Amino acid sequence: MAPDRDACVGIGWRQPHYETLLAERPPLGFIEVHSENFFADGGIALAVLDAGRAAYDVSLHGVGLALGSAAGLDAAHVERLARLAERVQPRWVSDHACFARVGSGLHAADLLPIPFTEESLALMTRHVQQVQERLRRPMLVENLSAYVGWAGDTLAEPEFFNELTRRSGCGLLLDVNNLFVNARNAGQAPDAAAREAMRWVDAIRPGSVGEIHLAGHCETDGGLVIDDHGSRVRDEVWQIYEHAIRRFGPTPTLIEWDTAVPVLDVLLTEAHRARALQR
C-alpha cells in the first residue's frame, strides 16, 4: 500500500519496526526518529534512515539540545543536528523545553524542567534562535512532563510558550499526554486533570502549534504518574486531543511508543484513531 503523504498522522519509527515498515509501507503522513540515534557518520543506521526517508516524510525529534541550560548550547551537538537535517531534509526538527547541561560539558541523562520566568524565557529564546539560524529553518519546542518544579515561577506555562513562539518564531510541539501527566502528579483526579489540560490548551495562542504528540503513561503504586510511552493512549488523553483539534484544527500528530514496543499494527491502530478525530 502506498504511503499517504497528505495524512496528518505519523508514528515513531523505532528499531523493532525498521524492517516491517519498509516492507509493508503502511499509509502514514510521516515517521519520527530520535535525532541523536543518527549522528554518527555513515553506517547502517543512516542507511536505514535514508530508506525511510525515501518512503515517508521524516520528523527529527531530539532529546539533547538542552535549550534551557544556562551553561549554553553544545556547539558540537548543534552542528551534528544541522548536518543530519541537511542530509534528511525533515518535515520538522524538534526538541524539548528543558535543561540538561551544567558547568563545563556535564550533561544529565534526563530532561530536567526549567523555571517559568522572564530570565529563563530570554535564555531559551536566544538558544532557539541560535539553533534555527544554524538549521536555516524554524524548529518546534515541546512542553515537558515534569516531576519537580521551581519555586518563584512568574509566568504560567502556556504564557511562557506563547511568548517563546512569538519572540523566537519557533512552533510549539504540544504533548497532550504530558499535560495530563503533570495535572495528575499535581494531585488531580483523572477527570479534573483532563479539564485542567484542556484549559492549558485553551490558553495557547492559535497558529503556534506545529505538531501534537500522543503517548501512553503508567501509574506507580506510590501514585506517581510516569510518561513512559509504553502503552496505548488513555481515554482522557484522547479527550484532550479531541479538544485540541477543535481549537487548532487538523494538526500533524504523532503516536509515540518507546518502551515495551508492540507489533506495528498496534501503533497503526492508534494512528487511525487520531486520523478519525481530525476529520
Residue 4 resides in a domain = no
pLDDT at position 104 is 61
Name the average pLDDT for the chain. Answer: 93
pLDDT tens, 91-108? 999 999 998 876 666 555
The fraction of the chain above a pLDDT of 70, given in percent, is 94
pLDDT at position 2 is 38
Residue 72 resides in a domain = yes
- Read off the pLDDT of each residue in 221-249 and give the average, rounded to a whole number: 95
pLDDT at position 174 is 98
Tally of domains within the chain: 1
- Read off the pLDDT of each residue in 213-225 and give the average, rounded to a whole number: 92
3-state per-residue secondary structure call for the chain: CCCCCCCCEEEECCHHHHHHHHHHCCCCCEEEEEHHHHCCCCCHHHHHHHHHHHHCCEEEECCCCCCCCCCCCCHHHHHHHHHHHHHHCCCEEEEECCEEEECCCEEEEEEECCCCCHHHHHHHHHHHHHHHHHHCCCCEEECCCCCCCCCCCCCCHHHHHHHHHHHHCCEEEEEHHHHHHHHHHCCCCHHHHHHHHHHHHHCCCCCCEEEEEECCCEECCCCCEECCCCCCCCHHHHHHHHHHHHHHCCCCEEECCCCCCCCHHHHHHHHHHHHHHHC
Residue 40 resides in a domain = yes
What CATH number does residue 131 fall under? 3.20.20.150
Q: Is the pLDDT of residue 203 over 70?
A: yes
Residue 93 lies in domain: 9-278
pLDDT tens, 123-169? 999 999 999 999 999 999 999 998 878 888 999 999 999 999 999 99
pLDDT at position 103 is 64
pLDDT at position 106 is 58
Residue 2 resides in a domain = no
- Read off the pLDDT of each residue in 17-36 and give the average, rounded to a whole number: 97
- Read off the pLDDT of each residue in 28-47 and give the average, rounded to a whole number: 95
Residue 151 resides in a domain = yes
Residue 245 resides in a domain = yes
- Read off the pLDDT of each residue in 46-70 and give the average, rounded to a whole number: 96
